[in-house]
Structure 1
Amino acid sequence: MTQLMACIDGSRQAGAVCDLAGWASLRLSAPLTLLHVLDQSQYIHEADFSGYLGLEGRRELLQELSRLDERRSRLAVEQGKLILAAARERVLAAGVTRVECLQRHGALVDNLAELEQDERLLVLGAYGEQSSESLARLGSQVEQVVRALHQPMLVAQPEFRTPQKAMLAYDGSAGSRRGLALLAQSPLLQGLELHLLLVGKIDGEHRALLEEAQALLTQAGVEAFALVLPGEPELVLPRYQQDNGIDLMVMGAYGHSRLRRWLLGSTTTAMLRTIRVPLLVLR
């Protein structure tokens, strides 16, 4: 995993994706690839109108429909190139010096799976181009990507501000410890005010888990506030984020804890709707 990849489309939050990806690229000193995927649902390729509404005998009309289809496909490609060019200018203006643009056809998840070995960190938006920020579609594609891929990813919200405070949700599982070790070694969150939270029963076992995690961060030179908070993760974490001005959340997609079920289950939509800050998903 040698670089960052950011998924760029024509949605209103594309600018925020660019800004978040640029911020991460600069902090990691890693090159950035801007990816635009032309999904099959966004254009028609070699459409067959024969037999459609009895048009098989109207050759001129069929030919015109075919020409319109080809023109739409060409326009979709050109529009994607313009989107990529604008995104490239934006990240270059932010100080990123190593930027490449890539346009591909097909399903987003399939393309990302093919490119995964070249990715160090994936950046994408919580809302897709086709969602219109509808609650019915919110987070559905993000969840598919989280399930399908294995590298860390940053999920952008419609508005970006440079992160100053980060919150790490920790559950003490073996997977969460691996994620914590990865985070401790990464320069991504260096210098940020880090809050380490374990949501669950306040007892000696949970305190010991949190102290172990805090010690690992301290050894890596990362200072963190550590708290065990009672309650339900889906209620406690958003409330803590809002009350403490957290502008970057960090969670893990691993293990079989209730925290994982919250992240990858049906309430993913509720999380993305409630929390208006970027989310870093560790694998």
Structure 2
Amino acid sequence: MRNRQRGSNLGLLLLASQVFQLGIDNIPPATLATLVLNVYLFLFPFKPILQTCVSVQQAYWFGDWHRLLLSPFHHVDDWHLYFNMVSFLWKGLNLERRLGTTWFAYLLSVFSLLTGLVYLLLEAGLTELMDDSSFSMQCAVGFSGVLFGLKVVNNHYNPGGVTYIMGFPVAKRYACWVELVLIHVMNPGTSFIGHLSGILVGLLYTLGPLKTLMKLGAGYSGYETPYTPNRTPYYGAEPSAPPQHSYTAGLSEQEQYEAAIVASLQDQGRRTHSRPSGGLSTNSALSIEEIRQRRLQRFDT
């Protein structure tokens, strides 16, 4: 096993810098473990990228099913890793504290595997429908499909309101679909079917039977026990304010997607510059304990 060939690794350095700015103690354990796994497999890949990506040809025709386990956790380059992990940190901080570490880890495991399976089904269906075997040969790799599924779940637990995509307001319930189309239009090299698979898995969880099946399979009833960090993070906000954490370098989640559209999931690492938004302000009139209590009330609702 040898390291892959990389360039300056600026994306990896930025990721490390922003993780330490946030503070490792502030990252819930399942989120942190998943982040570490992705970084480790980038530095020490289990196999070359062409042997970890998943496709109908490799998984079904040739029986190489272990690609379903490997493909979500391998990345093409450091920018691919960087944008996926920055987006994942934001979602992990919200969802793991909402669902609890045990259930969130379970959710990640199921989503990682099921997103690949749905991807294979969609590509196989397109092969038959279009009578075009090229669909079966398209190979996908990276965590972005899982991220789309997590975004659906996060929007489910935070319904209503709007989000801004490329500066335009979009209702949260439609945000995933707009991002799906926009990313593919502006960066055709991304896996449209892979992202769509993640959305469908997220919908199976929030609107379909997946959540019920997971509860039956796990026999676990306390899945929404919130995770509470050991100390109050410095990036606290009032409950009504959308979280914008320092590890995003001042970027809101929408601005992260704008940057990701340009730089993430490309075969060659490209540097991109995003306009930073204003940093998060905290209300000095509130005590740390009051802020903590308001957060807990938000999670309970």
TM-score, normalisation: structure 2: 0.24
Larger radius of gyration: 1
Structure having the larger proportion of residues in helix: 2
Q: Pick 1 or 2: higher relative contact order, CA cutoff 8 A, min separation 6.
A: 2
